[in-house]
Amino acid sequence: MEKVYLTPQHIQEIGKGNIPTATDFNEVWKHISLNGFIFNEFWIICEDSNIKYQVVIDKAIDFMPNVKIKKVWYDKNNLAHHLNINMPIYVFRMKYIEMINNDKADIDDDFKESLIPMMFMQYTIYALLHREVEIIDPEIRTSTTSTTSKKSHKKTRYSLTECIKKYQHKNKNKKYEYHVESFPRRGGIRHYKSGKVGTFSGTIVRPDKNKGESTSNNEYTL
């Protein structure tokens, strides 16, 4: 399960990074409702604190996305405690708007406890939908021998900035020679020529070594 590490500065940035307009707010949560998040399951690790969140997104409630959050923290004796929260997205949207528009709004404990993971998702998708593409030049391979073991090298630790970066190879049609049986690709967001935006899940790619290119014809961005 992927792990996202948030520093106190990241948490402060997420808290201050309120969606500027109602249109943007609705766009973000509509996108999550229809297409899901980058990860279906992930951990948020709050660095410099003893709190972490396990987040699982499903559509168990009348096909409406429901976010299951398990908050885990440790007391002074290093004993673990946990709190389970079910936060349907439509409920969060209503309560979040109420909180923004009314300083004296009666906000329940479940909503307060879900703020960090929910606002992380909100912040990340907003940044993904509005970020610029960075064109990169792929490194030239000089070695013809494989130094990769058969163990999985799937990255499971991400920082806040890594969740909102988007890269694109300068030469999309360049073919590579692969020396591994398979390798993982992380999920992300795809931008279509029609202007629509959709997400895709992570997958394991098994290259066709005879052709020197991947058997998957899909294009992915990070």
Phi, psi of 161 (to 5 degrees): -70, -30
What per-residue confidence (pLDDT) applies to 69? Answer: 95
Rounded CA gap, 42 and 123, in Å? 16
At residue 70, the pLDDT reads 95
**Which helix (H) or strand (E) is 76 found in, with range?**
none
Does domain 2-130 fall under CATH 1.10.260.40? My reply is no
The pLDDT, as a whole number, for residue 59 is: 72
* pLDDT value at residue 221: 36
The predicted pLDDT at position 55 comes to: 94
Written as one string, the DSSP assignment of 13-50 is: HHHH---SSHHHHHHHHHHHHHH--S-SEEEEEETTSS
Q: Going from the first residue of the chain to its last (222 residues), give the mean pLDDT of each consecutive group of 10, the final group possibly shorter.
A: 88 77 87 86 88 87 80 88 92 86 82 92 87 62 51 63 62 58 77 82 72 44 34
Residue 104's identity, in one-letter code, is K
Structure tokens at 24: 């943007």
CA angle 91, 164, 172 (to 5 degrees): 130
Please report the beta strands in 33-178, taking only residues with DSSP state E, as ranges in sequence order.
41-46, 51-61, 64-74, 80-88, 134-136, 157-159, 167-169
- Sketch the domain layout of the chain as residue ranges: 2-130, 177-222
